[in-house]
Amino acid sequence: MKAFQKKLIIEQLSSTLNRFKILKTIIPPQKGWIRAIRDALGINGRQFAQRLEVNRSRITRIEHDEVTGNVTLRTMHRAAEALNCVFVYGLVPKTSLQDTIKKQAYLVAKKRMIRVSHTMLLEDQGLSEKEKKKAFDTTVEELIQTMPKSLWDIK
């Protein structure tokens, strides 16, 4: 994929993801979304079990699994449907995608610069601090622009 295509994809996805930023501030109910909505609607465990076509003990398990993070996406979809809800699943970046890429480019450039600086010192060809900074910034910018597959090889 060409660099301009990657950039366009990132921009389009970032635009979509920006609408979900607010979700980072939402704290799930202590007993989970299923239980909170079920209680708000006044649906008891027996009634919910009937809607899901499972036994009552399964409801307790589903609600526990949601709180502990062990519920499956399929179960969440089924529970949402039974509660006349839509289950929404997504990933909301902690920062922007661009910032994540820049941070990774910085790490890769830093690692490269350490390797290059060491080699140049061994050959008695050390760079001044100003030259190092310029080379580093250029490397970061090049990594961001080209986004090579190797960008994510290094943590």
Query: Which DSSP letter does residue 151 get?
Result: G
pTM value? 0.76
Q: Where are the domains of the chain?
A: 21-82, 97-149
For 32-61, the pLDDT digits (tens) are: 999 999 999 999 999 999 999 999 999 999
pLDDT: is 148 or 2 the higher one?
148
Does domain 21-82 fall into CATH 3.40.720?
A: no
Which band of pLDDT confidence, cut at 50, 70 and 90, is reported for residue 122? very low
Q: Say whether pLDDT at 143 is over 80.
A: yes
- Who contacts 146 (Cβ-Cβ below 8 Å, separation ≥6)? 3
Rg of the chain over all Cα atoms, to the nearest angstrom: 25
For 103-117, the pLDDT digits (tens) are: 999 999 998 888 776
pLDDT of residue 119: 58
